[in-house]
Amino acid sequence: MARDIPCGAIDLGGTKIEARLFGPAMETLTMRRTPTPVEAFEPFVEGLAQQIEWLQTTAQDPELPIGICIPGLIDKLTGECFASNVPVSGRNLGGALTERLGRSFPIANDCMALAYSEVNGGAGTGFEQVVGLVLGTGVGAGLCVNGKIPERTVGPILEIGHVGMPARALAPYGLPLWQCGCGKLGCMERYMAGSGLSRLSEFLTGTRLDGAEVVTRADAGEAASGKVLAAWLDLVAECLLTLQLTLDPDCIVLGGGASTVPRLTERLMPVLAARQLGALRPPALRVAQHGDSSGARGMGLLALAERR
């Protein structure tokens, strides 16, 4: 059986620890979700270790390559992590797992894991410099160059969600500097994340609608929702332009809940094209091919690559 199960992965979130086993074509064979123990580091590590043991037992392989992605930062030199939704800040998660399980695991940021997945058999395949931008509960990005993750101290994660939204994008809509959970004002995440469309609808129309509802109404010709959607696309395009002007990607892959807006890349492309400087051309825009499991898939592939 072990031959049919090349790798596994753990996708860590603030509410669940998702363990996933992949088959020879990186298809999901089985998965299990358990609640994330968020009260302290020790029970958290134990919950994570039990999910890893479940993967090893199910695959009948105690050495199964397993990668772990976390919604946070990992300092590659010290192993120290930082995250706001899981209790790992200031702790060496990799070291604690090695102590508990007697082996080591690659650990990476979840946006970076998505970028790695998508350049290896996904929407970013064939491109040289790929940014994976996740529009989920939060907003973050990862970078891959020539199919690989560049070697850096903290890893090439991009905290673009906490870069300030430019005044020129806010002013046309009279948008204020919304307070972000990170303590700063006007972070891009507040306008662009999954909840950004809802927040914009409340501010611009006085009615708070769910993001999907805004899109449905806009497409049915309702003017107020059309204005909200246009504002959101403008703000997302401003973020894409920032990534383009600073990192020069030839492709940006969009992931996370908000990337499921129908025809998202077709809607964004003209807005981004209209913002170009001189002769610059926008990078290719793609939606992640591997959906919700792309981060886990990336970590499985990374664990396999490190094994070789």
Binding stretches for Zn ion (CB under 5 A): 162, 180, 182, 184, 187
In whole angstroms, give the CA distance from residue 277 to residue 295. 33
State which residue, 54 or 82, has the beta carbon closest to Zn ion: 82
State which residue, 184 or 227, has the beta carbon closest to Zn ion: 184
* Shortest distance, position 14 Cβ to Zn ion, whole Å: 16
- Using alpha carbons only, how large is the chain's radius of gyration in Å? 20
* Shortest distance, position 303 Cβ to Zn ion, whole Å: 31
State which residue, 162 or 290, has the beta carbon closest to Zn ion: 162
State which residue, 11 or 189, has the beta carbon closest to Zn ion: 189
* Shortest distance, position 178 Cβ to Zn ion, whole Å: 10
DSSP, collapsed to helix, strand or coil, labels residue 122 as coil
Tokens in use for 177? 């500097």
Q: Residues near 156 by Cβ (< 8 Å), separated by ≥ 6?
A: 112, 142, 143, 144, 149, 150
* Shortest distance, position 259 Cβ to Zn ion, whole Å: 20
Report the DSSP beta bridge partners of residue 66: 8
State which residue, 93 or 193, has the beta carbon closest to Zn ion: 193
The per-residue DSSP string of 210-266 comes to -HHHHHHHHHTT-HHHHHHHHHHHHHHHHHHHHHHHHH--SEEEEESGGGGSTTHHH
CB atoms under 10 Å from CB of 168, counted, come to 10
State which residue, 18 or 159, has the beta carbon closest to Zn ion: 159
* Shortest distance, position 187 Cβ to Zn ion, whole Å: 3
* Shortest distance, position 180 Cβ to Zn ion, whole Å: 3
Please answer whether residues 135 and 237 qualify as being in contact, where contact means their C-beta atoms are separated by less than 8 angstroms.
Answer: no
* Shortest distance, position 246 Cβ to Zn ion, whole Å: 18
- Smallest CA-to-CA distance from 156 within 104, 116, 106 is with 116
Please answer whether residues 97 and 74 qualify as being in contact, where contact means their C-beta atoms are separated by less than 8 angstroms.
Answer: no
Angle at CA of residue 265, ends 277 and 201, nearest 5°:
95
State which residue, 178 or 203, has the beta carbon closest to Zn ion: 178
E-only strand ranges, 114-268: 129-135, 139-145, 157-158, 251-255
Please answer whether residues 67 and 106 qualify as being in contact, where contact means their C-beta atoms are separated by less than 8 angstroms.
Answer: yes
In whole angstroms, give the CA distance from residue 148 to residue 135. 22
State which residue, 184 or 208, has the beta carbon closest to Zn ion: 184
Instruction: Kindly state the DSSP code that residue 151 receives in the 8-state scheme.
Output: -
* Shortest distance, position 148 Cβ to Zn ion, whole Å: 29
